[in-house]
């Protein structure tokens, strides 16, 4: 175990108990505390020599093992004692924010505060980019989602992220956020970057399926026969809801899907979906291109 971690544990043990003797404790106690503080400022969470484990190295191990509560305790204790180096504190805040995000239930409010501190405090561009990406995910997943803030955070992250995951998820979600704001051409730029730069990523196929989208529709169901699909379209039209059917092929199988409406915004589509949920419980929103007669 690295010397800095050993000193961290020794100092933690000493601090949590009364100093030996009276209020004028031996100088060794205070020298140990000062040495640890200075070494933390030098080593902290940044990668050091291969034989040394830093506090953040230990926290990352706990995170990899799913021990988020223990990681939070280590990082919180570290942040209380080491506020000298902004880069080191920034990484510690970022890691603690990840822990809060992974906990069940997720503590997104606490995570958001830590990611914001990480962005402000660190001088490490990658940590800043990763924290910005996580902030974007929080705004994207919130109920209701704040796509404007998500877009801002994702763009900040992309400016500094290395060309490796999680860039793929950031590109995809940025594209989706732009679509849901009705900015279709800008969305296509990021979606195409997602599957061009990360063709093997699970996000790539999802990005490709949304490319070229220009409207939102509510899919009501999928049917084996054209007759079933046409009857469902007629029922929806009789209730005042515009609908259409379209054929899709998967392998040798041809099936027919029924889609309702043509909505300019995601909010309109969501409202329409909720209005039919009692009758069509499996209805969901999807992005589609405009048909030739709709252009």
CB under 8 Å to 164, separation ≥6 — which residues? none
Quick one: average pLDDT of 126-133? 97
Q: pLDDT exceeding 90 applies to what percent of the chain? A: 74
Model confidence band, residue 4 (pLDDT cutoffs 50, 70, 90): very low
Mean confidence (pLDDT) of the chain:
86
CA distance 120 to 101: 19
Lowest mean pLDDT among 14-18, 91-95, 173-177: 14-18
Quick one: average pLDDT of 214-234? 96
Query: pTM for this one?
Result: 0.78
Q: Read off the tokens for 282.
A: 């499996």
For residue 36, pLDDT beyond 50:
no
pLDDT digits (tens, 9 = 90+) for 179-204: 999 999 999 999 999 999 999 999 99
Q: Read off the tokens for 234.
A: 């007629």
Q: What is the pLDDT of residue 83?
A: 62
CA distance 135 to 238: 45
Give the rounded distance of the alpha carbon of 173 from its chain centre. 9
For residue 84, pLDDT beyond 90:
no
Lowest mean pLDDT among 23-27, 51-55, 61-65: 23-27
C-alpha distances in Å from residue 108, one per residue of 112, 136, 158, 165 = 6, 12, 22, 22
Alpha helix ranges (H) inside the chain: 3-15, 27-42, 55-64, 68-81, 86-102, 108-121, 125-141, 147-158, 167-180, 184-197, 202-210, 226-238, 266-276
Q: Read off the tokens for 161.
A: 């992220």
DSSP letter assigned to residue 87: H
Q: What is the pLDDT of residue 42?
A: 45
Q: What is the pLDDT of residue 45?
A: 63
* 3-state secondary structure (DSSP) of residue 217: strand
């Amino acid at each position: 175990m690295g010397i800095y971690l050993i000193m961290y544990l020794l100092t933690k043990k000493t601090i949590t108990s009364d100093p030996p003797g009276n209020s004028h404790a031996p100088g060794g106690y205070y020298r140990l505390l000062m040495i640890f503080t200075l070494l933390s400022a030098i080593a902290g969470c940044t990668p050091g020599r291969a034989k040394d484990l830093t506090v953040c190295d230990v926290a990352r191990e706990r995170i990899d093992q799913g021990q988020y509560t223990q990681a939070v305790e280590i990082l919180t204790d570290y942040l209380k004692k080491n506020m000298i180096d902004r880069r080191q504190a920034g990484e510690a805040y970022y890691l603690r924010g990840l822990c809060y995000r992974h906990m069940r239930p997720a503590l997104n409010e606490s995570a958001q505060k830590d990611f914001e501190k990480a962005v402000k405090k660190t001088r490490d561009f990658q940590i800043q980019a990763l924290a910005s990406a996580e902030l974007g995910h929080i705004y994207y997943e919130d109920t209701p989602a704040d796509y404007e803030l998500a877009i801002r955070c994702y763009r900040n992250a992309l400016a500094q992220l290395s060309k490796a995951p999680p860039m793929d998820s950031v590109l995809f979600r940025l594209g989706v956020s732009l679509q849901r704001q009705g900015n279709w051409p800008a969305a296509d730029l990021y979606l195409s970057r997602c599957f061009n730069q990360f063709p093997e990523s699970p996000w790539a196929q999802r990005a490709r399926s949304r490319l070229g989208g220009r409207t939102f529709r509510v899919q009501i169901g999928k049917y084996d026969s054209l007759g079933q699909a046409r009857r469902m379209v007629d029922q929806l039209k009789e209730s005042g809801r515009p609908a259409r059917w379209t054929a899709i092929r998967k392998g040798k199988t041809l099936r027919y899907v029924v889609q309702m409406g043509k909505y300019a915004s995601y909010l309109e589509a969501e409202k329409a979906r909720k209005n039919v949920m009692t009758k069509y419980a499996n209805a969901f929103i999807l992005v589609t291109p405009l048909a030739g007669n709709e252009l």
